[in-house]
Structure 1
Amino acid sequence: VTAAGFAVRGLARLANKKYWHQPIIDRTARLLPYFLLMFSIIWGVGSYTGINSLRALGSSFSALILLVILALIISLPPALLLGWLAGRLANRPPMSPKADPVRRRIIGGTVAILPFTATSAMGMGFGASFSRTRVPEIEIDIPNLPRALDGFRILHLSDLHLGYYFGLDHVEQTLLDAEKHQPHMVVVTGDIADDLSLMTDTMKLIGQLKTPYPPYASVGNHEYFRGIRESIRRIEAGPIPLLLDKHDVFEVNGTPVVIGGANDPVHLGGDISGFLDDSLKRAFHNAPEGPFRLLMSHRPRALDVAEKNGVGLVLSGHTHAGQVGVGGRSFWELFNENGYLWGRYKKGNARLYTSAGMGHWFPFRLGVPLEAPLIILRRVENAG
């Protein structure tokens, strides 16, 4: 990262010297890597001392500077190439401050287009990552859903990642907004708090939401990253039952519903279908066969093994929708159409909703708003 910062510094100063001649650009480029170092130190001091204001300041500005560096290291080389080609096409010698001012402005503006666009996009994504969490109502058609569950409303919280960029006030505001939608129950599907000191209070706060049916939680990979035993201890110190390779049964108007919680494979690559299949078998061991089965799985790949384990609906997170979206879908589905990155999916009679999440470990979201979806179950006849 430091090397990239100094590379950007050199490229920006070169572009400024050749095309823009702006002292402020030169000064900013000189200081950019040192700003990154300074805010990284502030972040570290805040984390070590437990001073949340320092940690928030350091982590936020470190992330913003990293985004600027990324934007410039991507855009400056082609911008400089574009300027060189523009100069060649004009069939003139290299630019200098004494060159024709109109020509200088045109080529300088041409060179600036890519860096300006890239840094603007990064700035927009950074700003959007701190926006208010929306609560979209998502209807999911489920074949042969018990009639008692038609219209059942589940508030789905995932990937809160509390600590670096968000605190309990973020959760409280989201719950106040969600309360207006009158959810019947709430589920929390992992990656709850990167600062474990917030974990129990978070679960207590979520547990205060008045719903007719009990809340449940499952784990994600960040619970393992922060220490799974301590994460479990702090979750279980709150009022929300944790389902880890376990299930529970509750009734809706006399109709039983089985809810299970999958474990997380922790690692980020490779085929995890076998792991999830084993986890679901453990989760639903000795569960009644007839009732509708709802699964909390941090990993959306659980859809691949859901139907064979009798699961009708999987609620997942983990992906953050790839943090770049277009038209309500993840941009990265262009390259990974079976990744279940964001939204509704189906496989056989099983259904999945992958939430884009309420938070993140890196603050950038372009076309992917923070969300706490309100899942509404709808009965449809016949499988398909």
Structure 2
Amino acid sequence: MFERMILMIFSFLGILNGAFLSVIFRRKRFYFYMAGSWLISFLSAGYFLWYARGYDGLGLWSLYLGYLACGLMVAEIIALPCLFFLSFLSIPKRLLTAVRRLSLFALLFAAGIGVYGAVDGNTSGQVEHLDVYVENLPPAFEGYKAAQMTDTHIGPYFRYTDLPGEIDRARQEGAQVLFFTGDLIDDVRHMPEAADTLSAKYADFPDGIYYVWGNHEYYRGKDYIEEELLKTPVKILVNEHGAIERDGASLYVAGVDYPWSRGKAMEIEMDSMADEAFRGIPEGAPVVFLAHHSAFLDEGFRKGAAITLTGHTHGTQFGLFGRPIITPFTYTRGLYSDGRNVGYVSRGNASWFPFRFSCEREMVILTFHRK
């Protein structure tokens, strides 16, 4: 179903872009433009889907073809509004030559942005350091370091062999605990290897690894993923909490499941999940709240969590000057505050679609301080 939808969407985009080009270049045989543009779009989407299924055992050439395919898919999206606008500008004959040149430039620009973003988005990233100031933080936790990982989407662009190195980055930064906020894997054929890595790396973190469910676990087979994770020492939090102990003092870690309701029902569902996760935590105790969906930041503010850590949005993977342009999310990327407590939406350690522009992948390192 998903694959058919992707092919249909990009086939339609290709036909539309071809139609606009035929208007701009005044070609009576417009169907050649439409067919050519459709073919590029269809083949790009087709390769993207094929590669996701069969990347195992293929050479490096297949990965770079994957980048090209993803880049051309993005180019189709970028080109659409440009060509739509230029098709109207082409109506006056005096503007026709200039508009045709602009159209060619727009196509080259879109393709360049697409391919660059696909390669760079999957090969570069940064470590984001956050200082978290917490009321009632026990002295034993002053300077305590934690790491957040999220949205690795293990598969063709972030492989299970990449997971050990990414976790090692967290430990090298001095993190004593790892918080994983969902969407670990898409290609569940490699779930045993991913689970083995988590088991092997667990001992690197004195206070272990905490995990909450994302939406992709449900898409890819949550029962099987859970079965493999239960073979590891990873602490899965499903509307419950745990505690990190230091010198008789506690830093609580609460975690919630992924909400599937919509509208007002989603608010009620999230309220219920948060209430259950926080039940039993002493009033005023410092809490790290883990969730996949960024809408849980409001729940973290309501509950007085010292910091709420989420992912899910990937920061939209596209923006300008480090900010998203269009977003369907209230909380999209970076740090937010209600004036007292904070929440953070990670851009993710990877993604299932490699394109990124002005939205690098990130490893989040938190350092806790007494307020």
Q: TM-score, normalised by structure 2?
A: 0.83
Question: How big is the shift at 1:31?
Answer: 4.1
**Which amino acid in the other structure matches residue 284 of structure 1?**
F
In 2: Cα distance, 1:268 partner to 1:196 partner:
27
* Coordinate RMSD, CA, aligned: 3.2
Q: Which structure 2 residues correspond to residues 219-258 of structure 1 after superposition, within 5 A? A: 219-258=213-252
8 Å Cα contact 2:150-2:183 kept in structure 1: yes
Q: Secondary structure at 2:289's aligned position in 1?
A: strand
**Which amino acid in the other structure matches residue 180 of structure 2?**
V
8 Å Cα contact 2:47-2:66 kept in structure 1: yes
Q: Secondary structure at 2:152's aligned position in 1?
A: coil
In 1: Cα distance, 2:309 partner to 2:86 partner:
44
Partner of 1:346: 337
Q: Secondary structure at 2:211's aligned position in 1?
A: strand
The alpha-carbon distance between structure 1 residues 167 and 73, as it changes in their structure 2 partners (threshold 3 A), is same
Question: How big is the shift at 1:328?
Answer: 3.5
After the TM superposition, which of the residue ranges 51-60 and 345-354 deviates more from structure 2?
51-60
In 1: Cα distance, 2:83 partner to 2:247 partner:
62
Q: Quick check: 1:366 aligned with 2:357?
A: yes
Q: Secondary structure at 1:363's aligned position in 2?
A: coil
- The one of 78, 85, 96 equivalent to 1:78 is 85
Gapped regions of structure 1 (runs ≥ 5) = 19-24, 90-94, 96-103
In 2: Cα distance, 1:65 partner to 1:119 partner:
6
**Which amino acid in the other structure matches residue 125 of structure 1?**
G
**Which amino acid in the other structure matches residue 32 of structure 1?**
I
Question: How big is the shift at 1:88?
Answer: 2.9
**Which amino acid in the other structure matches residue 280 of structure 2?**
N
Partner of 1:42: 50
Partner of 1:4: 13
**Which amino acid in the other structure matches residue 332 of structure 1?**
I
The alpha-carbon distance between structure 1 residues 184 and 264, as it changes in their structure 2 partners (threshold 3 A), is same
In 2: Cα distance, 1:241 partner to 1:355 partner:
21
- The one of 180, 185, 191 equivalent to 2:183 is 191
Gapped regions of structure 2 (runs ≥ 5) = 1-8, 28-32
Q: Which structure 2 residues correspond to residues 155-304 of structure 1 after superposition, within 5 A? A: 155-207=147-199, 208=201, 210-266=204-260, 272-289=266-283, 291-304=285-298
User: In the comparison of the two structures, how many residue pairs are matched?
Assistant: 354
**Which amino acid in the other structure matches residue 8 of structure 1?**
N
**Which amino acid in the other structure matches residue 36 of structure 1?**
S
Question: How big is the shift at 1:140?
Answer: 2.4
Q: Quick check: 1:148 aligned with 2:136?
A: no
Question: How big is the shift at 1:274?
Answer: 2.0
Question: How big is the shift at 1:273?
Answer: 2.7
Q: TM-score, normalised by structure 1?
A: 0.80
Q: Secondary structure at 2:111's aligned position in 1?
A: helix
Rg larger for:
1
In 2: Cα distance, 1:155 partner to 1:290 partner:
23
In 1: Cα distance, 2:256 partner to 2:126 partner:
26
Q: Secondary structure at 1:156's aligned position in 2?
A: strand
In 1: Cα distance, 2:264 partner to 2:74 partner:
28
Question: How big is the shift at 1:62?
Answer: 4.5
8 Å Cα contact 1:298-1:316 kept in structure 2: yes
The alpha-carbon distance between structure 1 residues 15 and 304, as it changes in their structure 2 partners (threshold 3 A), is same
**Which amino acid in the other structure matches residue 272 of structure 1?**
M
Q: Quick check: 1:125 aligned with 2:131?
A: no
Partner of 2:5: none
8 Å Cα contact 1:41-1:58 kept in structure 2: no
Instruction: Work out the percentage of aligned pairs sharing the same amino acid.
Output: 22
Q: Secondary structure at 2:73's aligned position in 1?
A: helix
